[in-house]
Amino acid sequence: MKRRNFIQNSALATAFVGFSNIAFSSNLAEVKPSNSAKFKLKYAPGFGSFPELAGKDPIEVIKFCADQGFRAMFDNGLPGRSIEEQDKIVAELKRQNMDMGPFVLYADFKVESMVIKDPAIREMLVKKVNDGVEIVKRTGIKCALMVPGRYNERMAWDYQTANVIDIMRELSEIAEKGGMTIVLEPLNKRDHPGLFLTGVPQAYAICRAVNSSSCKIIDDMYHQQITEGNIIPNIDAAWSEIAAFHIGDNPGRKEPGTGEINYLNAFKHIAEKGYNGVLCMEHGRSISGKEGELALIEAYRKADNF
């Protein structure tokens, strides 16, 4: 066997390690993973995580993910689905005893929004939150994600921060009455230049100033590895204000084990702190096709082995 072919075959075999119940076939289309052991933490695939193995129907995807031991799902675009489809998704999640991660309520990266005092923007944001509360009441999904938008190049930074705090106090009051938690997401400046909110320490200071149980942080560990690193100490420092997590390794924003983040240790630390929320798998796959989807599941088995 040529050395190149041996390496390729070995890599493919490695991707399959851990699937003791997979029915192997010479035809890859017949490979069907089955591992119902529940993960320790609530890692949440998106509805597009397993197109080859689970298809595109949301209900079938939920069933497949439950069969693989996942205990949650996430859907950034939930508000854009019809009420009928939302209801079907929620009913299947309840049947499988699975949670749902935060949906995106507002994330416009092109405009200055929370950093300026503009009556029209305020009215828009209030409407967004009221619409989110209606989704929460109907579905029982508690968290909605918001991004404060771009920063203003002409205004002093502290005034912009004060404006974000002021509008978030108003929005959080509406959310709290409706049983919804708004999670603010800091995003890194390399991938998303020009945004106001870029770091967990910054988000922590804003949440402390807002002082509401409905204003919290979603800690995206991919973004934070780029922005400030020091992931575990930052989790500890901001713990009281973190309500959810996003996952993605860096570089590449692919599954755990493909970059520099030690997710085994990070997950172990989060579990030891008693976290019972969702960790959204907001990343791609390092390998295409069914092999990549199998490798994705195995990557989480390895990272969850603490």
Q: Is residue 10 very low, low, confident or very high in pLDDT (cuts 50, 70, 90)? A: very low
Q: How far apart are alpha carbons 157 and 38 in whole angstroms? A: 46
Q: How far apart are alpha carbons 294 and 98 in whole angstroms? A: 21
Q: Catalytic annotation on 185? A: yes
Q: Can you give the pLDDT at residue 77?
A: 97
Q: Catalytic annotation on 282? A: yes
Mean pLDDT across 242-253: 98
Mean pLDDT across 55-75: 98
Residue 281 has pLDDT above 70, yes or no: yes
Residue 240 has pLDDT above 60, yes or no: yes
Q: Is residue 36 very low, low, confident or very high in pLDDT (cuts 50, 70, 90)? A: confident
pLDDT tens digit string along 110-144? Answer: 999 999 999 999 999 999 999 999 999 999 999 99
Q: Can you give the pLDDT at residue 32?
A: 55
Instruction: Look at residue 32 and tell me if it is in a domain.
Output: no
Domain enclosing residue 244, as ranges: 38-303
Residue 196 has pLDDT above 80, yes or no: yes
User: With contact defined as beta carbons under 8 Å apart, do 212 and 172 qualify?
Assistant: yes
pLDDT tens digit string along 136-168? Answer: 999 999 999 999 999 999 999 999 999 999 999
Residue 293 has pLDDT above 60, yes or no: yes
Instruction: Look at residue 1 and tell me if it is in a domain.
Output: no
Instruction: Look at residue 71 and tell me if it is in a domain.
Output: yes
Instruction: Look at residue 31 and tell me if it is in a domain.
Output: no
Q: Can you give the pLDDT at residue 91?
A: 98
Residue in 185, 241, 293, 298 annotated catalytic: 185
Instruction: Look at residue 68 and tell me if it is in a domain.
Output: yes
* 154/36: higher pLDDT: 154
Residue in 112, 255, 282, 298 annotated catalytic: 282
Q: For residue 85, what is the domain's CATH number?
A: 3.20.20.150
Mean pLDDT across 34-42: 87
Q: What is the mean pLDDT of the chain?
A: 91
Residue written as token pair 């508000």: 79
The SS3 call for residue 14 is: helix
Q: Can you give the pLDDT at residue 13?
A: 42
User: With contact defined as beta carbons under 8 Å apart, do 295 and 61 qualify?
Assistant: no
Total domains, the chain: 1
Residue 3 has pLDDT above 80, yes or no: no
Which residues, in sequence order, are bridge partners of residue 112?
Answer: 149
Mean pLDDT across 173-180: 98
Mean pLDDT across 94-103: 98
Percentage of the chain beyond pLDDT 90 is 88
Instruction: Look at residue 284 and tell me if it is in a domain.
Output: yes
Tokens of 193: 């230049």
* 26/94: higher pLDDT: 94
User: With contact defined as beta carbons under 8 Å apart, do 305 and 264 qualify?
Assistant: yes
Instruction: Look at residue 226 and tell me if it is in a domain.
Output: yes
Instruction: Look at residue 281 and tell me if it is in a domain.
Output: yes
Rg (CA), the chain: 20
